Each structure stands twice: as C-alpha cells, then as structure tokens.
A and B are shown apart, each in its own frame.
Chain A
Amino acid sequence: TTGLIVFFQSGRPLGAGVRLGLGLRMNRTKGDEEEYWNSSKFKAFTFDDEDDELSQLKESKRAVNSLRDFVDDDDDDDLERVSWSGEPVGSISWSIRETAGNSGSTHEGREQLKSRNSFSSYAQLPKPTSTYSLSSFFRGKERSAYSFSALSDTPAKSYAPELGRPKGEYRDYSNDWSPSDTVRRLRKGKVCSLERFRSLQDKLQLLEEAVSMHDGNVITAVLIFLKRTLSKEILFRELEVRQVALRHLIHFLKEIGDQKLLLDLFRFLDRTEELALSHYREHLNIQDPDKRKEFLKTCVGLPFSAEDSAHIQDHYTLLERQIIIEANDRHLESAGQTEIFRKHPRKASILNMPLVTTLFYSCFYHYTEAEGTFSSPINLKKTFKIPDKQYVLTALAARAKLRAWNDVDALFTTKNWLGYTKKRAPIGFHRVVEILHKNNAPVQILQEYVNLVEDVDTKLNLATKFKCHDVVIDTYRDLKDRQQLLAYRSKVDKGSAEEEKIDALLSSSQIRWKN
C-alpha cells in the first residue's frame, strides 16, 4: 500500500494503510529543525512579507521541480486515472457527467461507458473474508476484517440493515396503539394510522408525545394530521402555546410553499414583522422586473421595523430607477452611437443589482450627466442619501478603471473661498493610493497621491511598496537619513535615473545628514 494519496479511491480500507504510513514516517529531529531555523532568514511570520515567504516557497518549488525530469517518466503507475475534468475515471461523479454528455445516443453512450470503465484502475473490492476460521474463535483484542458474520460472535444480535422487508411495507392495522406507542412506531418509520385520534384531547396528547420524544420528523407527521383534521383557528390557537410544534409547522409550511396558510398563521400570532418579511420574501421568486417592482410596491406599507421600512422603500425606488436606466442604456448600446458603450460594452444588466453597484455603473457610464437625470451619480447620491465616503470610494474606483485621471483629480480638489485649490480625501489618501494601484495607475499618478499622504511612515511604506522611487528618495532627503538612502540605492536599477539622483544627493555637501 504505497498509494498514499489516493485520488478518489474508494475500495481500500483506510486503517491499515494509515498505520503503516505512521510507522514509516520520517521523523524530523529537533536538531534538523534548529539548524534550519537558524540558517534561514526566516523572521516573524506575516502575511505581508510576500517576498520572503514566496521566495522560500519558490526555492522549495525549484528544488522539487528540478527532480521532475527524473520523476515524470511514468505518471500513472500508482495513481488513478483522472479525466480531463479532474474526476477520476470510473468515479460516480465522472460517470454521471458522461451520461449527461451522451444522453442523446443511448446505445453508443453505453458502449463508451463500458469501454472506459474497463480500463479504469479501480481496485476490486476485497472479498468478504469468512471469519469462521480458527483464529476468529480465539479473537482477542485485535479486530479481524469486518464482515456481517464477524459481528455475530458477540452475544447480541448483529447489527445489519434490516434485511427483511423494507420498512415502508410494514403496515399496522391495529387500532389500539396508545399515543406513546403510536409515536414510537412513527419514529421507526412504520406506517401507522392516526385516524382514530379524533377528539381534540387525543390529538393534542399525540402531539405532546411527539414533542417530548424530540423527533422532528414525527412532530411534523402529527402536524400534517392535525392540519388536515382541525380548523386552522383551532390549530393555530393550540400551537401558540406549543412553541416547538409551532416552529415545526412554520418550517413545514415554508418548505411545501403554503404561503397563504403561513401568512394566516403569522397574522393570527400577531407576528407582524415576520408576516411582512415573509411576504417580502416572495419577491425573490418573481423574475419579471416590472412585476417585481409592482410587488415591492405592495410591500412598502407593511409593518416592518422602522429601519427595514426605509430599506424596503429604497428597494422599490431603486428597482424603479434601474428599469428606466436599463431601458435607456440598452437602447443606447444597440444604437452604437455612444462612445462609452462602444468602448466598454456592458457585461450585464443593471437590474436587481445592489445600490453601490448601481452607483458604480452610473459613475462609469453616466458620470458627467446633470443632476436632473435619473442615471446621474449625484442624483443617486441624493435620493438614497449615500454617505460621502462611500460615494468617493465608488466614484474613484469607476473613474480609475476608465483611467480618467482628470476626474480622479477633480474628485479630491476643493476650492476655498479665496479660490485656492486644496486636495482633500474623506477616505484618506493612503486608501486612494491603494485603489489607484489596484487599477494599474501609472507611477506618475500614484506618486502624486503618495505625496499627499500625511503620515511619513505610511507614505514611505506605500512609496516603497509601489516603487515610487522619487517619493522615497525625497522623503529620506527631507529626513536627512543618509543610511536609509544608501540602503535604498541597492533597490533601484543599476544606471537608472533614480540611482543617479541618489548618488547626487549622497555626494551633495548641502545636506547635513543626521547619520
């Protein structure tokens, strides 16, 4: 059993292989480890230390890869065959995919399956070994291979699937079962008539027995019977004081999709918020946008919590807007006259997208529109009271994606009353830099915003991370930190302008270095 990693192998017993594996396992000695830790440049571990960690990994990878030529000569000798999709050939998942693919031509498909299956390298099942050997009579602590018969040497009867008739076929025509007997029989999955429980008292006693046995399946079975044989007012009234049973009924109604009775129940229980949410939930099943919108309109007045009410109203307004925007933009796009839609065709419809996605969309396609139009970002911001921070983040992401650097610039430029311009970012310039970097902004642009970061350490970190050499060099110069500048020299390219700049600074007699 050297096949230690087994791609979906199912026939082999787990235990033996593992124990063997454990026994053979190579032990790392303390000394080895110590030596490794001392010799490596491993420092405290952080997920930020991408370079160090990855280089360590890369090194291991190189070592492993260098062996590949030697190793890869015969790939398949100890592994399962794996189909193109990664499923082992012969596995059940694989086979189902095959049937689906071949479902048209039945006969061919079958032939194909047969032939594929014949070369699949599945190990045959171990034959159940007879345990009526001498050794089995003297069995001590260790266990021999399992089989049904192996268990029968215990004094009790063996545990085996009920090998008689399937449970469903057990029928009971006796009418004398007590509530507790009935419930017990139900738990065993036996068909059992409940019709003889006709008085309310009997019914409730049956329900209580079911609840006290804890089996939810039986509780539901009794509830199905009660639902059929009691008026809903009586049923609801009795369940109100039986919370466990009540919860089962609610879940059951949800599952079978009896929305009407569910809403009646919530109404009866005076659970107004659940009633509202449950009604609102139905919109998920409505595909047509106009119908969905109309449905949402019916939700607006429902007794949600104050906070939720506002969200429901917004949901309705948003979908209403989206329908207008969608119709308009689909038209624009198909007409092919508008540059932005030609250059950046829409990937999906805006219908049913969250608010922030809608805002992004509108910043992307409708940025310059006047406030009066439904699709303008400013209009969305006002209507839905989007906070400044959120607005700026979204607009920045959209404009950066389009590489509209002027718009980005304008987003952070404010004029004071004297007409001087100033740069201000409600989200902090460090965030701005990160977002710009994610959108592959050129170094000149990045540099500009890195320079606006106030905290010097953050600024240095970002500048180093994003290779804004000028910012790093200027900052060290301003800090009069000769040592750091010297160290940074090794990180810039040889013979580059940056190197020259550093050299010029280092040899300058104007600067009074602090170290």
Chain B
Amino acid sequence: MAFPHRPDAPELPDFSMLKRLARDQLIYLLEQLPGKKDLFIEADLMSPLDRIANVSILKQHEVDKLYKVENKPALSSNEQLCFLVRPRIKNMRYIASLVNSDKLAGRTRKYKVIFSPQKFYACEMVLEEEGIYGDVSCDEWAFSLLPLDVDLLSMELPEFFRDYFLEGDQRWINTVAQALHLLSTLYGPFPNCYGIGRCAKMAYELWRNLEEEEDGETKGRRPEIGHIFLLDRDVDFVTALCSQVVYEGLVDDTFRIKCGSVDFGPEVTSSDKSLKVLLNAEDKVFNEIRNEHFSNVFGFLSQKARNLQAQYDRRRGMDIKQMKNFVSQELKGLKQEHRLLSLHIGACESIMKKKTKQDFQELIKTEHALLEGFNIRESTSYIEEHIDRQVSPIESLRLMCLLSITENGDARCSLDTHYGPEHLLTFSNLRRAGLLTEQAPGDTLTAVESKVSKLVTDKAAGKITDAFSSLAKRSNFRAISKKLNLIPRVDGEYDLKVPRDMAYVFSGAYVPLSCRIIEQVLERRSWQGLDEVVRLLNCSDFAFTDMTKEDKASSESLRLILVVFLGGCTFSEISALRFLGREKGKREFIFLTTAVTNSARLMEAMSEVKA
C-alpha cells in the first residue's frame, strides 16, 4: 500500500516560498542593526531557524557570534546585541537583567529584540517595568509558517495547546489569523471554508476581519486551494491520546520527531554516534513507509533490501564500460538508498525491542477495548496495574484520560501516591482542559452558570455560557462513535496491507474522530445532517461553513484541502487523511498545525513545573 505517485493527483502549491519569505524578512531585520552584532537565540527557535537559514547567511549579515538564551550571564563583548526570542515573560526578565547589569557597569551597547512570531503587550510591560523600555528596540519576525514537508506546515507553537485549551488565553488566535491571511495572499482566497470549535470560529472571524481591512489584496487572485477546514483539538482528544502504529507516528512516539527531524541514537545507527535525520518526502525510503501500518514496514524493508542486493549484484559480469556507466549513473543513488534503508531498519529494530519490553500488545488491546467500550472492568484493572507497576507517569495519565473520556466519567486513581504529589496540580489541569471528565458535572455547572447569568447585564452574556461549556464539558464519545461509525465492523481479519478505511491507522480498530468529521463535512459540503454529532461535541454554536462563488475556482484547486489543526495534530491523523485523499476521488490534503503533537506531548503540556 505504498503511496505511489498518482498522475491524477492535484499538484501541491510550492510552499518553499514561505521559507524564502521568512529568511528574507529575517535578513531585513538583521540589517536594521547595521554592523557587527552577537545574536542570542531562544532554544525553541533554533530548530525552526535551522530549517530556513544557516550560519553563513547570518554571518553575511554581520552576525558575529551566536548564543543560546539561557539563564546565565552573557559573555559577549560585542557592542551590539540582538535577541531572537518567543514573546515570553522570562525572556524579557533575562534581557532586562542583562541590560541593567550593563547599565550598572556604565556600559552602553545597542540592544534589539526580535519577537517571533509577534510581540505581546505583556512583554513590553515587563520591559517598561524593568526600566529598559526605550533602551532596547523591538521588532517582530512574523515567521509563523514553517513547511516541514511538501504537505505539512507547522507554526511550531506547542504552547498554543496549553495557553488556549488550559488557560483560555487567546493570544495566539491573531497569529493564526495572520498566518491564514498570508496563505491567502500567496495562494489565493479559499472559496470554501468549514470549521468546528470555539477557537476555530474565533480564528476564522479574526482572519475575515483582516481580509476586509486589507481589502483588495486577494481580489482577482485565482484560488489555488479550494477548501479550508479549521478544527479545534478539543473536538477530538481521543485520537490524540491513542498509541500510534503507523510508521511515522510510531517513530514520533518512540524517538520524538522535532521540527521534522529525529535524533537516531547509536542503537539505531549501529555506530557510536547519533545522527540527526530529516524525515520528509525527500527521503525515498521513508516516504514509502511513513503512512504504513507498522506490520507492513518489515515486509517492505526486506523486499527493498533484496532489490538493492540484486541491483548491486548486477555489477558482476559487467565489462569495463558497463561498470563505468554503473558507477557514474547508478551507484550514487544505490548508496543513498542503502544508507536510508539501513537507518530505517535500525529504527524498526529499536522500536520492536522497546515495544516488546513494554508489553505493547497488551497496551494496544486495552486501548482498543476502551475505544470499543467493552471489557471496561478489565481495562480499568489493567490501567490500575499499569500504575502500580510504575511504568511511566505520562503513560498512566494518558490511559486514565482515555478511559475517562471514552467512558465519560472521572477515572482518577491514586496516581499522586505513585508519581509524586505534584500530580494533584496536573489532575486539576487535566480536568480544566476537559481531558479528564467529571462523572456528573451537570448540576453544579448549571448552578454556577445561572448565578453568573443573573449578574450579567451586558451583551457579552451569550459568551459566558461558551466559556463555561469548555470548562467542564461532558464527553459523549460513545454516542458520537456510534453516530459516526468510528468502530468499523469487521468480518474476519482487517487486512492492514490493503486498508479499506482510515481505521487502518489504528490497526483497523478505530476511525480517527477528527478525520471522520472532516470526511463527512467535505462529502456534504456542509454540516447538514450532522446536527446531532455537533450537539454531542458541545459545538452547536461553533460549527460553521462559508462558501463564496466558485466561478474562479478551478477544478484542480477544488481537489486541494487545507486542514488547520488548532492545538496540534498527530502523524496518525495526517496519514489517515492522506489515505482519504487518495481513496476518495483524487484529492490531496495539506496540513497546517500549531505543532505536531502526540499523547505524551499533550500530557506533558498539562503538568506543572516550578516557575
């Protein structure tokens, strides 16, 4: 089931221009501080920056030395300091301490802070409070769309998830709207818009406002991408909580793919060094196995190994001329393939070892039971045992959340005994974000709600209920699952080699909810007939469609769909939609996510650490 190139597939827009745009803008900003300067870069920005620029480009623009922003005094002796940071309070405090100690020492330097992707007023407030407002100049580097692959754009903002879904802070919504605005300026307007979720709706409205204000920019442009679909992560937590079994997802779960590349340790490279490997469509071997169920990967790799062997074997019995041809024309490609093949075989081996050790089979069985809603007692005792055995706190938390959401009840066990009492705070966070649901929130909630509504006299009244519903919402997973047929009925074995539906990304046990919603809406070109599902998702006010006249949209563009995941998407979802695009009428999905996520990252985002 490798994904061969389909001659009938629509051509993807060229996203490499986003990289060049970001690079040019950065260069422009660096030139705003003429002369030699040292550049301090925030750790989280290093990998994204590495994907669009390199040291020699920075040197060309008179960057002398590079430092990481960390809580240490700066040793730089340069007369000009430039800081490239995320808009975070702790970065402002760091810069302030640096500038203030310079002041104390009677030293004058030039300072420039470049915020990426934008600055926040709270940051400026700190600069003002620390008495350095005016001593530093501030700028914004609107680098918010990093093409990680031909069909995947990431905003590289993992904090979006916690900021919005836990704290209710809408600071990144403008960033999303700006990013969408940029896309429509470069690739034309989107004739068909769909969305679900409170954040999705707000981002959409803000984006529309932007377009109206800067009227004319996209007018007259031919749309390149026919559809856009915005989706909040909290519409579907279940999918993100599941263990991944397609290759790319499994690699992410096991080794953590960071900004499109992965660190393969010595156990994978079978040498004494680690390798940083870029994982994308340019890796031919990877590209053919990334969307495959893990069980197919072995077969594919051994087939590939055999083919490779055969190709090398051909050189026996060649005469000099043929040999010369072989060396000049084929050898390089074969060597490349060889290198990739041994890397991915090493990765598979390492995954197998790790997963066997942690009883992965049992784990998957339990997850499937939870998704299907049978043997709940057995699953519960499995999870309890998992906790007792102190396997890993993150894993246990994840299973509890999965149990709680699928069963719509609070599944809290005595986890804090086992993993340290700070988990008290984690639990409180999980509940606030709706990852752990309460057994009977209904009554208490309505009581508070009605109390508050009585106090309200202004027009914001309607909004309050919204705020509350996301605070403690009931999960209706079982009912939704039934309505949308998320658990495929299978007679006999589900053939993972020839998948029949998107469920293959979870071994045929479950169709990802997020992807099913997208499929259904695109099929209907509206939410019609999905009212009940939308209601069960607590999204009655937040499901929207917006169609413009399609006279300018080519049929080619209508086969391209941009899916925007607010709060992160998983590689399993990406694989599932890539499959859907191929199966259902020669479509191609493009992904825009605030960050690539997985279950571990979701759980980690909810834990509380010292300030």
Contact = CB atoms under 8 A, between A and B. Distances in A.
| Count class of interface residues, chain A | 35 or more
A311 B299 CA distance: 51
A11 B312 contact: no
Contacts of A293: none
A414 interface: no
Contacts of B217: 156-157, 159
A47 B425 contact: no
Given A64-B342, A96-B41, A85 B274 contact: yes
B400 interface: no
Contacts of A48: 356, 361
A91 interface: yes
Interface in B349-375: 349, 352-353, 355-356, 360-361, 364
Contacts of A151: 186
B137 A60 contact: no
B139 interface: yes
Interface in A176-233: 184, 186-187, 189, 204, 208, 211-221, 224
Contacts of B295: 45
Interface string B277-293: 11011111011100000
A2 B332 contact: yes
Contacts of A311: 416-417, 421, 424
Contacts of A120: 55-56
B103 interface: no
Contacts of B299: 33, 36-37, 40, 42, 56
A354 B392 CA distance: 13
A147 B20 CA distance: 8
A268 interface: no
Given A95-B66, A161-B28, A86 B275 contact: yes
B467 interface: yes
A462 to B, nearest CB: 13
Nearest to A207: B460
- Chain B CB within 10 Å — which of A22, A27, A211 has the most? A22
A154 B221 contact: yes
A15 B150 contact: yes
B479 interface: no
Contacts of A67: 308-309, 312, 338
Contacts of B287: 21, 25
B273 to A, nearest CB: 6
B173 A353 contact: no
Contact of B47 (A93, A187, A315): A93
Given A57-B348, A71-B335, A86-B263, A241 B118 contact: no
Contacts of B276: 7-8, 82, 86-88
Interface stretch (B120-128, B227-235, B532-540): B120-128
A280 B425 contact: yes
Contact of A214 (B4, B170, B353): B170
A94 B47 CA distance: 11
Nearest to A256: B89
A6 B168 contact: no
A91 B418 contact: no
Given A281-B608, A285-B610, A243 B417 contact: no
A26 B4 CA distance: 9
B46 A5 contact: no
B67 A7 contact: no
A41 to B, nearest CB: 11
A369 to B, nearest CB: 22
B547 interface: no
B525 interface: no
Interface string B153-171: 0000000000100011111
A86 B303 CA distance: 29
Interface string B129-161: 000000001111010000101100000000000
B275 A57 contact: no
B421 A92 contact: no
A94 B287 CA distance: 27
Nearest to B118: A189
A428 B14 CA distance: 59
A99 interface: yes
B332 A352 contact: no
A57 B301 contact: yes
Contact of A99 (B66, B218, B273, B340): B66
A93 B202 contact: no
A479 B497 CA distance: 39
B376 interface: no
A125 B169 CA distance: 39
A34 to B, nearest CB: 10
B185 A159 contact: yes
- Chain A CB within 10 Å — which of B52, B418, B460 has the most? B460
A212 B170 CA distance: 11
Interface stretch (B57-65, B401-409, B578-586): B57-65
A471 interface: no
B282 A21 contact: yes
A2 B334 CA distance: 10
B130 to A, nearest CB: 11
Contacts of B280: 14, 18
Interface in A404-461: 427, 431
A85 B17 CA distance: 31
Interface in B17-75: 17, 19-21, 24-25, 28, 32, 41, 46-47, 49-59, 64-68, 75
Contact of B355 (A47, A122, A147, A248): A47
B261 A8 contact: yes
Contact of B54 (A23, A122, A148, A213): A122
- Chain B CB within 10 Å — which of A113, A217, A311 has the most? A217
B609 interface: yes
A92 B49 contact: yes
Contact of B121 (A50, A109, A148, A217): A217
Interface string A222-258: 0010000000000000001111100110111011110
A240 to B, nearest CB: 7
A354 B418 contact: yes
B341 A64 contact: yes
Contact of A36 (B4, B303, B467): B303
A277 interface: yes
Contacts of A491: none
Interface stretch (A163-171, A330-338, A493-501, A503-511): A163-171
Contact of B302 (A60, A100, A354, A389): A60
B464 A243 contact: yes
Contacts of B41: 92, 96
B533 to A, nearest CB: 25
A342 B342 CA distance: 45
Interface string A289-305: 00000000000000000
- Chain A CB within 10 Å — which of B54, B173, B425, B456 has the most? B54
B352 A57 contact: yes
A92 B608 contact: no
Interface in A9-51: 9-11, 13-15, 17-18, 21-23, 25-28, 32-33, 36-37, 40, 42, 44-48, 50
A513 interface: no
A217 B84 CA distance: 19
B219 interface: yes
A4 B468 contact: no
A384 to B, nearest CB: 7
A154 B421 contact: no
A483 interface: no
A306 interface: no
8 contacts: A21-B281, A25-B5, A61-B305, A159-B185, A161-B28, A241-B457, A247-B169, A256-B126
Given A17-B282, A168-B119, A244-B170, 18 more contacts: A14-B282, A15-B14, A21-B284, A40-B302, A53-B352, A61-B349, A71-B339, A94-B55, A104-B75, A110-B64, A124-B56, A159-B21, A159-B182, A159-B185, A166-B138, A211-B463, A243-B467, A251-B167
The 3 closest A-B pairs by CB, nearest first: A216-B170, A45-B295, A247-B168
